[in-house]
Amino acid sequence: MKRLSWDQYFMAQSHLLANRSTCNRLAVGATIARDKRIIAGGYNGSIAGGVHCIDEGCYLIDGHCVRTIHAEMNAILQCAKFGASTNGAEMYVTHFPCLQCCKAIIQAGIKSIYYANDYKNHPYAVELFESSGVDMIKVEFENIFEDEYSEEKLAFVADLLAKLKEQGAEDSEIKDMYEQAQLIFSNGA
């Protein structure tokens, strides 16, 4: 087994956190690390105990959902709540931060932002990061949880099912088994 680099390790944590998102439009996760240790994590969602977008839809004003707190802000606020300094820390986020999060990241003293996906990279956010000396590093994320052989496995099962059909298995049984195999080997996709 290949050992993950630190960047891949922290980015994997951010992608895992994104799975907790309650946003219908985009799931984002953020991890704050210092000295190769995770000090906080966040995902985009509603305030604690509040109504979630996945339950009632987004609350849009001028094309922006005002119900959610962005992943980056949630991670920074977690540090504030529990007394962990963000000064000199690094942030790993699944998507390039918005302009408002950019300003919070700078003010929190975070020195580097690592991101996996470009997302509406605002030119002023890039300018602010550069003028503040915050490094912006795009990390190509390798999803270690994906099964690189899923297509081959599904093809193998399809061949087996074809042989079962030749042996007289019912079409409905074959169809059900193939659909089940698709779910298993494609992680529900």
- Do the bridges between strand 64-65 and strand 60-61 make them parallel or antiparallel, or are there none, so unpaired? antiparallel
What are the tens digits of pLDDT across the range 56-67?
888 989 988 899
- Do the bridges between strand 90-95 and strand 29-34 make them parallel or antiparallel, or are there none, so unpaired? antiparallel
What are the tens digits of pLDDT across the range 110-150?
999 999 999 999 999 999 999 999 999 999 887 655 666 66
* Predicted structure pTM score: 0.76
Q: In the predicted model, is pLDDT for residue 21 greater than 70?
A: yes
C-alpha to C-alpha distances, 77 to 12, 60, 89, nearest whole angstrom: 21, 23, 14
Long-range pairs, 2-9, Cβ under 8 A, ≥24 = 4/144, 6/36, 7/92, 7/114, 7/137, 7/139, 8/139, 8/141, 8/142, 8/144
Q: Are 108 and 39 in contact (CB under 8 A)?
A: no
166 is catalytic: no
